[in-house]
Amino acid sequence: MITLVTTLLLVVLSNFTVEGARKTYGVADSGSNDNNVKLFVFGDSYVDTGNFINSPAYKPPYGITFPGHPGGRFSDGRVLTDYIASYFNIDSPIPNAFRNESNIQNGINFAHGGCGVYDTHIDGPNLTAQINSFEQLIQQKLFTKEDLQNSYVLVNAGANDYTTHVQDHKFFDIPKFITTLVDQLKTDLKRFLSLGVGKVAVSLLQPIGCLPLITNIDFHLSCIGLLNKVSESHNKQLNDAIEHIKIEAPGANTSFVTLDLYTAFLSTLDLMMKKAARDGNSSSENAIESPLKECCVANLGFECGDMNHHFGTRLYKVCGHPDVYFFWDAVHPSQAGWDVTFPLLKPALAQLTQQ
Ligand SMILES: *[C@@H]1O[C@H](CO)[C@@H](O)[C@H](O)[C@H]1NC(C)=O
Ligand SMILES: *[C@@H]1O[C@H](CO)[C@@H](O)[C@H](O)[C@H]1NC(C)=O
Ligand SMILES: *[C@@H]1O[C@H](CO)[C@@H](O)[C@H](O)[C@H]1NC(C)=O
Ligand SMILES: *[C@@H]1O[C@H](CO)[C@@H](O)[C@H](O)[C@H]1NC(C)=O
């Protein structure tokens, strides 16, 4: 039985790719940035706002809520980066793919959908390579020391590493892989100290056992605990690694906080499930079958956004009300999902601002 479940998870997981984003209009260019804060973003599709040009995020139905058309975000609307930028009173930083000398006043977003700490099966820069690009721009003196000391860094990476690891059929090495991965992540994070960045926010891993792609195997009835344990173990080790960075560099001018996506997702989903149970099978058009179900449901073996090019037909179905769904597609929160998650991350950001 256990073997069967594990095999199922393997099959399901092997299709699980957190992809990310292309060109986005209307967010990054409004100009005013009085407090001279900049945000530099690294990682995957949860934070990419447009670097992944040939991805589903540039196809319908992505972007229907914001900016109103496919704009390179892996959601119907805004993603975590947009919420964090607005918390700092700046517009979302320009994706690196569209950077020029006059649009970097809010920082730069280096994140690329589908990427990880290590190389994944996506043709995009891993975390080290993303930080290398940042370092090159610092060497070219695009940012002053003061700029960097006033800057924030956001790092959200890791989920795609687990996917890739499992795709490569090494499921049973997972405990060892977690340790190796967190170690590499720690090496990457330490670079922000020598680069002179003032404040760094690092996402903890979301509960991967709650993603619709995974819960699909039992009709979205509940999260798969075995996989959430992977997230828990990753997060515990990552928290420890960050504590060690602080201890190893006592006089450093770089502060770190973690953004607990794990707890934020779980507590939100838990509330939604309780509400759904209370409301029962009400026939309201806003009622959803399960908070663990996504709005954009792909046909078996396909992804949200896929088309049958021969017949010109969609290989997915979109719900009527993305605003009542936590998940937009099989792995990404909807804008509504980020809307309810973000307030739970604010205390950590407040702590970072005060340091
Ligand atoms: C820089 O990019 C912005 C869009 O982000 C565009 O409006 C502007 O014309 C570009 N400037 C230069 C100098 O290329
Ligand atoms: C990241 O990518 C670079 C460039 O492709 C490669 O040299 C490096 O080994 C990779 N790093 C990791 C940690 O996978
Ligand atoms: C931290 O900043 C202070 C003031 O700019 C500087 O004197 C000190 O050397 C910095 N510490 C490190 C470890 O860079
Ligand atoms: C759900 O619908 C069925 C049939 O209409 C009804 O018997 C049942 O009481 C409903 N359950 C709840 C929790 O509302």
Give the SS3 label for residue 159. helix
Q: For ligand 3, atom 1, which residue shows the shortest CA distance?
A: 253
Domain-embedded: residue 78: yes
User: What separation in Å is there between the alpha carbon of 207 and the centre of ligand 1?
Assistant: 39
Q: For ligand 3, atom 14, which residue shows the shortest CA distance?
A: 252
Q: What is the pLDDT of residue 84?
A: 98
Pair 100, 108: CB distance under 8 Å: no
CATH of the domain at 31: 3.40.50
Q: What is the pLDDT of residue 167?
A: 83
**Distance in angstroms (rounded) separating the CA atoms of residues 246 and 203:** 17
Q: What is the pLDDT of residue 69?
A: 98
Question: What is the count of structural domains for the chain?
Answer: 1
Locate the DSSP E strands across the chain.
39-43, 94-95, 107-109, 152-156, 199-203, 255-259, 296-298, 307-308, 313-314, 316-318
Q: What is the pLDDT of residue 346?
A: 98
Pair 195, 249: CB distance under 8 Å: no
Domain-embedded: residue 310: no
Give the SS3 label for residue 274. helix
Pair 304, 216: CB distance under 8 Å: no
Q: What is the pLDDT of residue 32?
A: 53
* 100 pocket-lining for ligand 1 (C-beta < 6 Å): yes
Which tokens is 305 given? 């956004």
Domain-embedded: residue 327: no
Domain-embedded: residue 40: yes
Domain-embedded: residue 250: yes
Q: What is the pLDDT of residue 286?
A: 55
Domain-embedded: residue 267: yes
Q: For ligand 4, atom 3, which residue shows the shortest CA distance?
A: 281
Which sign does the torsion angle of CA 210, 215, 221, 224 carry?
Answer: negative
Torsion of CA 30, 32, 33, 34, to 10 degrees: -170
| Of 112, 220, 234, 332, catalytic | 332
Q: What is the pLDDT of residue 36?
A: 85
**Distance in angstroms (rounded) separating the CA atoms of residues 303 and 315:** 8
Pair 127, 117: CB distance under 8 Å: yes
- Residue 226 belongs to what domain range? 2-277+338-354
Nearest Cα neighbor of 90 from 354, 355, 353 is 353
| Of 44, 45, 92, 151, catalytic | 45
Q: What is the pLDDT of residue 132?
A: 98
Which stretches of the chain score pLDDT less than 70? 1-35, 171, 280-288
Q: What is the pLDDT of residue 19?
A: 42
Convert the pLDDT of each residue in 286-313 to its tens digit: 556 789 999 999 999 999 999 999 999 9
Pair 292, 212: CB distance under 8 Å: yes
Domain-embedded: residue 289: no
Domain-embedded: residue 312: no
Pair 264, 288: CB distance under 8 Å: no
**Closest ligand relative to 28 C-alpha:** 1
